[in-house]
Amino acid sequence: KSPETIEVENGRGVRGIVPQHLSDGFCQDMLTISFRPDAIYRKAQVIVSFAGKQLIRQKKQIMTPGEMVTIIIKPEHWQKAGLTPEQLSGMTDEHSHGQDDRRLTVSIEGEQ
């Protein structure tokens, strides 16, 4: 794993996330993240966050472990969260303040 790599991690209720790592420049194109929920969730929300900033909060009526859930992150999601390509590039270098700065986390909030 190089210093430019961003880890994509399972948050609450998420398993089997793909991809597990992102390369430099990941915020400049559409990015597709897929995962399986760890249980059946109804009227839930998928939350994607990076460096403590929420990028996406997407409502889902039902999610089951037998189906892959797909979330698309667009360049404007990074911009709305106040994260520019320059800031993101700075977070991925060797002088990063901590590992948490370099993680994209996907989690589920809702009823099981």
Q: Specify the pairing of strand 21-22 against strand 14-18.
A: unpaired
Specify the pLDDT at position 26: 81
The sign of the dihedral angle between the CA atoms of 79, 85, 86, 89 is positive
pLDDT of 4 > 90? The answer is no
The chain-wide mean pLDDT, for the chain, equals 86
- Rounded CA-CA distance 73/14 in Å is 17
Higher pLDDT, 43 or 51: 43
Question: pLDDT (tens digit, 9 = 90+) per residue, 67-98?
Answer: 999 999 999 999 888 887 776 666 555 444 45
**Tokens 């839930």 appear where?**
44
Nearest to 60 by CA among 13, 108, 98: 108
pLDDT of 22 > 50? The answer is yes
- Rounded CA-CA distance 37/15 in Å is 6
- Residue pair 41/58 in contact (Cβ under 8 Å)? The answer is no
Highest mean pLDDT among 3-7, 39-43, 81-85: 39-43
